[in-house]
Amino acid sequence: MKFTFHDGFSVQRLGFGAMRLTDWRQSGTDESKAVARRAVELGVTFIDTADAYDLGLNEELLAEALHPYPESLLIATKVGHTRPSRGEWVPLGRPEYLRQQAELSLRRLRVERLDLLQLHRLDPKVPLPDQIGALRQLKDEGKIARIGLSEVTVAQLDQAREIAPIDSVQNRYNLTDRASEGVLRYCEQRGIAFVPWLPIARGDHARADGLLGKIAADLGATPAQVSLAWLLRKSPVIIPIPGTSSKEHLEENCRAVDVTLTDEQFEALWNTANS
């Protein structure tokens, strides 16, 4: 179950979100590094991080745990979003800042070229062409291999693609939150990777006594596994990135690839979440 980028590089379609590896409770511990290594052992080949996750510590931890990286592994990072002192998230898309952060990510990840650099958020105070143009320049210089966007609309994606090739889009999307359905369809039609963050369904439908829980029980799976299996079936361009700091939860999530929904179960989940 793989997704292949336009340049021919393929990744397994169940990825890993590394943000929780450097949370307040276990920032930089050996346990966190062990979780990252276990993800790779389990066959994960797409890991998502960001320069703003603990002020670069998340990228450094991945390098400490995994460098030198397997040739099959793609590490996607992000620039353009700041979180001073773990407070409010603030977009910052000035071209000189994006370049500075990309250079720092190269250093922290110990690479000469970033596999995938995503614009974490569009900065409403900076013209979109200036932000995308900065990423395009980095790509032209060989410092990034692929460009991604996060939390964008179809119109913004269209505009960005006039400036640079876009390889991925990372919007919030899951079984019970499908505001980005139109963006997903756009990506599917053009072979762009769609990387849903917060991929595990939440809310009433995700309760143990709800439909998701009942289907999970019928399949001998967990609600989280069914949520991920639903996404993997929903579209061939979807690469979910469930995140955790627990080996047990990581292993549970990775077993979602073995969960097979019937047509009736898939449609029931779709219809219930839409009702």
Phi and psi at residue 81, to the nearest 5°:
-140, 125
Predicted model pTM: 0.95
Pairing, β 81-82 against β 2-4: unpaired
Mean pLDDT of 67-76: 98
| Position 122 pLDDT exceeds 90 | yes
| Position 151 pLDDT exceeds 90 | yes
Mean pLDDT of 135-160: 98
- For the chain, what is the mean pLDDT? 94
The pLDDT value recorded for residue 218 is 96
The pLDDT value recorded for residue 86 is 66
What residues contact 45, with CB distance under 8 A and at least 6 apart?
11, 12, 15, 70, 72, 73, 74
The residue behind tokens 């939390």 is 151
Mean pLDDT of 92-110: 98
Query: Which of 45-49, 129-133, 168-172, 270-274 has the lowest average pLDDT?
Result: 270-274
The residue behind tokens 């370049």 is 99
| Position 61 pLDDT exceeds 70 | yes
The pLDDT value recorded for residue 27 is 52
Give CA–CA dist 182/184, Å, rounded: 5
At residue 83 the predicted structure's pLDDT band, cuts being 50, 70 and 90, is confident
Alpha-carbon 73 to chain mean position: 14
Q: What are the domain boundaries of the chain?
A: 2-200+235-256
Mind listing the pLDDT tens digit for each residue in 185-222? Answer: 999 999 999 999 999 976 655 666 789 999 999 999 99
Q: What is the torsional sign of CA 128, 134, 135, 139? A: positive
**Residue 178: helix, strand or coil by DSSP?**
coil
What residues contact 5, with CB distance under 8 A and at least 6 apart?
11, 146, 167, 193
Assign domain 2-200+235-256 to its CATH architecture: Alpha-Beta Barrel (3.20)
**Are 114 and 168 within 8 A, CB to CB?**
no
**Are 18 and 243 within 8 A, CB to CB?**
yes
Give CA–CA dist 28/19, Å, rounded: 12
The pLDDT value recorded for residue 14 is 98
Instruction: Quote the tokens at residue 244.
Output: 């955790």
What residues contact 191, with CB distance under 8 A and at least 6 apart?
6, 237
Give CA–CA dist 241/228, Å, rounded: 9
Q: In 3D, which of 8, 114, 45 has the Cα closest to residue 254?
A: 45
The pLDDT value recorded for residue 205 is 56
**Are 184 and 194 within 8 A, CB to CB?**
yes
The pLDDT value recorded for residue 60 is 96
CA distances from 26 to 50, 198, 244 (A): 17, 21, 12
Identify the residue with better confidence: 228 or 272: 228
Q: Which residues are marked as active site?
A: 53
